[in-house]
Amino acid sequence: MLSCCVRNVLCTLKTPPCIATLALQHSRRHCSTSSCEDLDRVSTLLQLCVDRQYVSPDQTNAELFQRGMSCVYGPLGTELRRNLLEQWWHSVTSSSAQVFGINTLSSSKDAAADGPGQLRIVESDYLKHIIEQQELSKEQLVQEVQALIHRSPSLRTDFLQGALEQFVPALELVNRKLPFGLAESGLCFQPSDGSGCPAEVTQTSLVWFCSPRTSSHWLDHWARQRLKWWRKFARSPSDFSSSDVPVEELEGAASRGVRISYSFPWGQEPLETLWSRGHAELLQTHKGVRSKLQYREGRKSVPHVVSVSGNMDRGVKAFLSNSLQQLMKQDGKQKLLRRKVLKLHPVLAPVKVALDIGRGATMELRQVCEGLLQEFMEAKIPVWPGYLETLPTSMEQLNAKYDEMGVLFTVVISDNTLESGLLQVRSRDTTIRETKHISEIKNFLSRYISAADNI
91 to 130, contacts with a second copy by CB under 8 A? 94, 96, 98, 100-107, 109, 114, 116-128
The nearer residue to a second copy, 33 or 96, going by C-beta atoms, is 96
Shortest Å distance, C-beta 136 to a second copy: 8
The nearer residue to a second copy, 400 or 422, going by C-beta atoms, is 400
Shortest Å distance, C-beta 431 to a second copy: 25
What's CA 349's distance to the chain center, in Å? 13
User: What residues numbered 379-398 form the site for a second copy, per CB under 8 A?
Assistant: 380, 385, 388-391
Query: Quick one: which of 1, 173, 327, 337 contacts a second copy (CB under 8 A)?
Result: 173
User: How many CA atoms lie within 13 Å of 130's alpha carbon, on the beta-carbon side?
Assistant: 17
- Residues 6 or more apart whose CB falls under 8 angstroms from that of 145 comprise 127, 130, 131
The nearer residue to a second copy, 36 or 130, going by C-beta atoms, is 130
Query: Quick one: which of 293, 341, 373, 413 contacts a second copy (CB under 8 A)?
Result: 373
Q: How many CB atoms lie within 10 A of CB 117?
A: 10
The nearer residue to a second copy, 60 or 236, going by C-beta atoms, is 60
Question: Do 74 and 55 meet the contact criterion of CB atoms below 8 Å apart?
Answer: yes
User: How many CA atoms lie within 13 Å of 336's alpha carbon, on the beta-carbon side?
Assistant: 3
Shortest Å distance, C-beta 240 to a second copy: 24
Shortest Å distance, C-beta 245 to a second copy: 27
The nearer residue to a second copy, 94 or 430, going by C-beta atoms, is 94
Spatial CA neighbour of 350 closest among 449, 424, 455: 449
User: What residues numbered 200-229 form the site for a second copy, per CB under 8 A?
Assistant: 200
Q: Beta strand 180-190 with 199-210: parallel, antiparallel or unpaired?
A: antiparallel
Shortest Å distance, C-beta 401 to a second copy: 12
Query: Quick one: which of 2, 11, 158, 198 contacts a second copy (CB under 8 A)?
Result: 198
Binding mask 232-271 for a second copy (x = CB under 8 A): ----------------------------------------
Q: Does 186 bind a second copy (CB under 8 A)?
A: yes
User: What residues numbered 285-344 form the site for a second copy, per CB under 8 A?
Assistant: 296
**Which amino acid type is present at position 365?**
L
Query: Quick one: which of 65, 73, 233, 264 contacts a second copy (CB under 8 A)?
Result: 73
Binding mask 409-448 for a second copy (x = CB under 8 A): ----------------------------------------
- Residues 6 or more apart whose CB falls under 8 angstroms from that of 18 comprise none
Distances from the Cα of 227 to the Cα of 262, 306, 322, 454, angstroms: 11, 16, 15, 17
Shortest Å distance, C-beta 53 to a second copy: 6
Sheet containing 433-437: which strands, arranged edge to edge? 383-384, 353-357, 409-413, 422-427, 433-437
The nearer residue to a second copy, 266 or 319, going by C-beta atoms, is 319
C-alpha triplet 360, 365, 369: angle, nearest 5°:
145
C-alpha triplet 444, 78, 309: angle, nearest 5°:
105
Looking at 27-35, 70-78, 328-336, 440-448, which segment touches a second copy (CB under 8 A)?
A: 70-78
The nearer residue to a second copy, 186 or 298, going by C-beta atoms, is 186
Residue 297 to residue 177: CA distance in whole angstroms: 8
User: What residues numbered 22-61 form the site for a second copy, per CB under 8 A?
Assistant: 53, 56-57
Q: Does 65 bind a second copy (CB under 8 A)?
A: no
Q: Does 400 bind a second copy (CB under 8 A)?
A: no
User: What residues numbered 133-152 form the site for a second copy, per CB under 8 A?
Assistant: 137-138, 141-142, 145-146, 149, 151-152
Residue 178 to residue 18: CA distance in whole angstroms: 58
Shortest Å distance, C-beta 341 to a second copy: 20
C-alpha triplet 42, 43, 48: angle, nearest 5°:
100
Q: How many residues bind a second copy (CB under 8 A)?
A: 87
Spatial CA neighbour of 107 closest among 186, 176, 29: 186
C-alpha triplet 408, 261, 70: angle, nearest 5°:
65
Residue 408 to residue 425: CA distance in whole angstroms: 10
Question: Do 118 and 147 meet the contact criterion of CB atoms below 8 Å apart?
Answer: no
Query: Quick one: which of 75, 252, 267, 288 contacts a second copy (CB under 8 A)?
Result: 75
The nearer residue to a second copy, 123 or 434, going by C-beta atoms, is 123
